[in-house]
Chain A
Amino acid sequence: EPEVTQTPSHQVTQMGQEVILRCVPISNHLYFYWYRQILGQKVEFLVSFYNNEISEKSEIFDDQFSVERPDGSNFTLKIRSTKLEDSAMYFCASSEQGRAEAFFGQGTRLTVV
């Protein structure tokens, strides 16, 4: 069964450093998303991406965040200058035109120290 894959599974970074989280969505999907989940809290929507541009973003997705689909298969989330409060699980998801479900990856655990 096709799946969304995310790398790395765990990333530790120092405060102020840039991180790039990588995702390979399911190949025929057109919509791509990033979510995050701070430990013990709800899964929160960050951003959606369609047709090579951001279609919607939340208040969390400020100027420190950016997304890119650099090569037609990868979908990346960049955090420019990480803060302690960026520590969370980050989930990538994708969905297909006309289908009801979004498929989520297994997540990247980001720890900012």
Chain B
Amino acid sequence: DAKTTQPPSMDCAEGRAANLPCNHSTISGNEYVYWYRQIHSQGPQYIIHGLKNNETNEMASLIITEDRKSSTLILPHATLRDTAVYYCIVRADSGGYQKVTFGTGTKLQVIP
């Protein structure tokens, strides 16, 4: 799986958009970008994934650059409950097998 680089921490004001960057300059053509998060001491939670098109679901939006070397996860209106560690993971699609290799992620602190 390609390596990813994320800032170790970020702050965001409550109600504002949180934009979490991820660099994956060595991504291969068949590798997807996945985002998970881990709220303190809870199990990781899947957020979103994408290949090359931008994606949106009820939790977030994922913007992938045209060259696919970086991406941004957007939480449009951050709440205090969004305070968590966010993991950007790059991996090939394997039809359902979902072993996830977690890095250190970005610790997002949402501030009231």
Contact = CB atoms under 8 A, between A and B. Distances in A.
Interface of A: 4, 30-31, 33, 35, 42-45, 48, 50, 55-56, 89, 91, 93, 95-107
B49 A55 contact: no
Interface of B: 32, 34, 38, 41-46, 49, 93, 95-104
Nearest to B91: A100
Contact of B97 (A4, A48, A107): A48
Nearest to A94: B98
Nearest to B101: A45
Contacts of B103: 42
Contacts of A55: 97
Contacts, number: 63
A100 B49 contact: yes
A50 B43 contact: no
Contact of A31 (B43, B49, B93, B98): B98
A31 B97 contact: yes
B38 A43 contact: yes
B96 A98 contact: yes
5 contacts: A33-B98, A93-B100, A97-B96, A106-B42, A107-B41
Given A42-B104, A100-B46, A102-B98, 9 more contacts: A31-B97, A43-B38, A43-B102, A50-B97, A89-B41, A95-B96, A101-B46, A103-B46, A107-B43
A85 to B, nearest CB: 19
B34 A100 contact: yes
Contacts of B98: 31, 33, 93, 95, 99-102
A107 B42 CA distance: 7
A95 B43 contact: no
A95 B44 CA distance: 13
Contact of A33 (B41, B99, B102, B104): B99
B65 to A, nearest CB: 20
B43 A91 contact: yes
Contact of B43 (A45, A96, A98, A104): A104
